[in-house]
Chains A and B, each alone.
Chain A
Amino acid sequence: MITSSIARKVAMALSGLFLVVFLGQHFTINFTSVFSENTFNELSHFMGTNPVVQFIFQPILMFGVVFHFVMGFVLEIQNRSARAGQYGTYKGSANASWMSRNMILTGAVVLSFLGLHLYDFWIPEMNYKYVEFIPEDPTRYYDELVHKFHSPIRVGLYAVSFGFLALHLVHGFGSSFQSMGLNNKYTPAIKTFTKIFAIAIPTGFVFIALFHHLKAL
């Protein structure tokens, strides 16, 4: 379907941007937990039970995630095979940032975190709703969240993973615009914005985790 190199990178960019939008949305909802238990519960309840979200957006999101990482690995394999013979000395740092050269590494860390995250939240959630058919309690979400951040190890893992996500985004978010053909006088502004976003949002997530962890002590 997507056979040319440019089509693939555009697909990578689009799926990445989609995930960035999801991340922003996810952050916004989580952040309400810091100041309002009720708002958080209401929004979570809506997201968890609204059929459009559950049966249209959720599958799209899952497809987006799977597509992004599968394509990422496919491209990485192709890229490695395009070299043929390793350099004795290769000074990558002389001409490109660490982030841009290690997307596969930061991506893989984020992916494994995603596994943990799904195990923590999504599997219990699915179990709750669709396996055991426990009746919905619109106020359960906040407590679940707080409970998860009890363990300092989990919070630590969480923080490290978001660190990698930030590194992934610092290159990936801005780069997606270049992939889609956007490089003009607004590019410096876009780059600044994407970098701020890439650092601020993961920091925000870590803040939320720490906030609940410390508050419960």
Chain B
Amino acid sequence: MNLTLKVWRQANAQAKGSFETYPISEVSPDMSFLEMMDVLNEQLIQKGTDPIAFDHDCREGICGMCSMFINGEAHGPDRLVTTCQLHMRKFKDGDTITIEPFRAKAFPVVKDLAVDRSAFDRVQHAGGFISVNTSGNTQDANAIPIEKHDADRAFDAATCIGCGACVATCKNASAMLFVSAKVSQYALLPQGKVEATDRVLNMVKQMDEEGFGNCTNTGACEVECPKGISLENIARMNREYLSASIKG
């Protein structure tokens, strides 16, 4: 396949970026999108051009590091995949592909397509945990049975990979899906209920301080989420937040 790539180039956080166009030929449909980017970078280096910076690590869809906005969609046109698992067979010969970084005030660009998502980490510092020390003497793992249905839903929420596609996709750059996944995971487990009140209040406060937008229930995040995290989690967080606010 022969393709034309329109790629966002930005030297650093302060610089003003712009699109550059690069042709690329002999792309195999079996390549992953990032492998195609590797090939392009090898060519750029050979030509003496600075290669395109982009975040990636595990390349099997679980680390959440890759973060490209491809043809107007987070992680590109395929569903339930991260950029690293998007394959070139999803494109046609002759296509022009626009590649941009995830854009949000809370995710400043580091360079080219790499962005700084430490806002997510800070939201987690505010309450994304259960306060239990490592003693080796906590009670036996089977001491509290957990209804399978709840355990499964907690797991589904916990599969969030923190990639930020929800923020990138949302027209409001809202982080509700991400934050609600964590709040839900703990809210559904007896171990997490103990500090549920403080958790949801603190995490939402931090989320707001980071400058994410507000949720308007467009549902775009759920569609673009590579892990299929459900909007149900947002509703659950809203409930948790309301009852926590009332409790104080």
Give A contacts to B, CB under 8 Å: 3-10, 75, 78-92, 94-97, 100-101, 103, 171, 175, 178-184
Contacts and interface: CB of A to CB of B under 8 A. Distances in A.
Given A5-B207, A91-B72, A97 B105 contact: no
28 contacts: A5-B207, A6-B237, A6-B241, A9-B238, A78-B214, A79-B213, A79-B214, A82-B104, A82-B106, A82-B174, A83-B104, A84-B104, A87-B100, A87-B103, A88-B8, A88-B100, A89-B71, A89-B100, A94-B77, A95-B73, A95-B220, A96-B219, A97-B219, A100-B219, A179-B217, A180-B242, A181-B237, A181-B239
Contacts of A96: 171, 218-220, 223
Interface residues of B, number: 50
Contacts of A9: 214-216, 238
A101 B214 contact: no
The majority secondary structure among interface residues of chain B is mixed
Interface string B84-121: 00000000000000101001111011000000000000
Nearest to B77: A94
A79 B172 contact: yes
Contacts of A91: 71-73
A82 B168 CA distance: 11
Nearest to A8: B214
Contacts of B204: 4-6
Interface of B: 6, 8, 19, 69, 71-73, 77, 98, 100, 103-106, 108-109, 169, 171-174, 176, 204-205, 207-208, 211-220, 223-224, 231-232, 234-242, 245
A83 B213 contact: yes
Contacts of A8: 214
A134 B240 CA distance: 53
B235 A182 contact: yes
A97 B217 CA distance: 10
A100 B73 contact: no
A155 B46 CA distance: 68
Listed residue (A8, A81, A88, A103) with the most chain B CB atoms within 10 angstroms of its CB = A88
4 nearest CB pairs, A to B: A91-B72, A181-B239, A183-B235, A82-B213
Nearest to B103: A85
B98 A89 contact: yes
Contacts of B103: 83-87
Contacts of B218: 95-97, 100-101, 171
B231 to A, nearest CB: 6
Given A4-B208, A83-B213, A95 B219 contact: yes
Given A5-B208, A82-B106, A183-B235, A87 B214 contact: no
B229 to A, nearest CB: 13
A89 B72 contact: yes
B243 to A, nearest CB: 9
B245 A7 contact: yes
A82 B238 contact: no
A6 B238 contact: yes
Listed residue (B71, B108, B171) with the most chain A CB atoms within 10 angstroms of its CB = B171
Given A82-B106, A82-B172, A171 B217 contact: yes
Contacts of B242: 6, 10, 180-181
Contact of B105 (A82, A95, A182): A82
Given A6-B237, A178-B234, A183-B236, 11 more contacts: A6-B238, A7-B241, A9-B215, A78-B172, A78-B213, A83-B213, A94-B73, A95-B220, A96-B171, A96-B219, A182-B235
